[in-house]
Amino acid sequence: MLVLTLVAPVLGTNCYVVAPDGGRECVVIDPGIGVEEQLEKTFAEHSLEPAAVLVTHGHLDHTYALSELCRRRELPVHLHQDDAYRLSDPLGSLGPQLAQQFAQFVEGWTPPPDVRPFEGAETELDLTGVVLRALHAPGHTEGSTLYHLPADGVVFTGDVLFAGTVGRTDLPGGDDALMRATLTRLASGDGLPGPTAVRPGHGPASTLDRERASNPYLRGL
């Protein structure tokens, strides 16, 4: 499996492009603010055509480029039902302080027309040969989701788990108790083997073994 990382120039959000080996179609995960040009260059360089977009959660720094991507192409957008409302109100769902900071970015924003929410604790998605487990992982937001590529030993964690830390819970929709339950599942296994590579929403990659051993928010859970 081809997994490419693009870092958005605003807030350093990690955007991922995932494609089967030798495949032409790809999946984009979390297209953030200002990443559109990088995406187009990546598609051209690797002879890829995006076929779907996955969103780990509905915060604007993980969804902003959906507007432009879906204007250029008819792409379905997949995310958990509990965060789907954020695509219609990207500022209002951030809270007043962050809404003011992000206001400059929403001029011209249009919600993607083809949104395909999924529900439940676990959903299997087969997108152009990219087969993932979507694991509901609330806490940072109501619909935060981990996307696990079992065949390749990779999990995309969004703003749930980072190298050495975890996502905040003080924004609208955040919940300390739900985050603790999510992290407890991550610490104990939840079908995710220790060698699994962690590809977070911001910052460097890690592994679950490393985070379980050294991340202060996972140790002891």
Reported as a single tens digit per residue, the pLDDT across 74-129 is 999 999 999 999 999 887 777 777 777 777 777 778 899 999 999 999 999 999 88
Please name the residue that has the structure tokens 């985050």.
179
- Of the pLDDT bands very low, low, confident and very high (cuts 50, 70, 90), residue 190 is confident
Task: Flag whether 83 is in a domain.
Answer: yes
CATH of the domain at 155: 3.60.15.10
Token pair, residue 195, equals 């060698």
Please state the rounded mean pLDDT for residues 184-201.
92
Cα-based angle 189, 194, 196 (whole degrees, multiple of 5): 105
CB 111 within 8 A of CB 83: no
Cα separation of 17 and 45, whole Å?
12
Task: Flag whether 122 is in a domain.
Answer: yes
pLDDT in the model for residue 128: 86
Task: Flag whether 9 is in a domain.
Answer: yes
Task: Flag whether 49 is in a domain.
Answer: yes
Token pair, residue 185, equals 């599942």
CA end-to-end span of the chain: 32
Task: Detail the DSSP E strand segments found in 45-167.
Answer: 49-54, 77-80, 115-118, 122-127, 130-136, 145-149, 154-158, 161-162, 165-166
Task: Flag whether 97 is in a domain.
Answer: yes
Task: Flag whether 113 is in a domain.
Answer: yes
pLDDT in the model for residue 65: 94
Q: What is the mean pLDDT of the chain?
A: 93
Task: Flag whether 221 is in a domain.
Answer: no
Structure confidence by residue, pLDDT tens digits, 121-153 = 999 999 988 999 999 999 999 999 999 999 899
Task: Flag whether 219 is in a domain.
Answer: no
- Dihedral angle at the C-alpha atoms of 40, 42, 46, 48, nearest 10 degrees? -40
Based on the structure, what is the number of domains in the chain?
A: 1
pLDDT in the model for residue 124: 96
**Bridge partners of 146?**
135
> Which domain covers residue 40, as residue numbers?
2-214
pLDDT in the model for residue 220: 77
- Of the pLDDT bands very low, low, confident and very high (cuts 50, 70, 90), residue 39 is very high
CB 160 within 8 A of CB 210: no
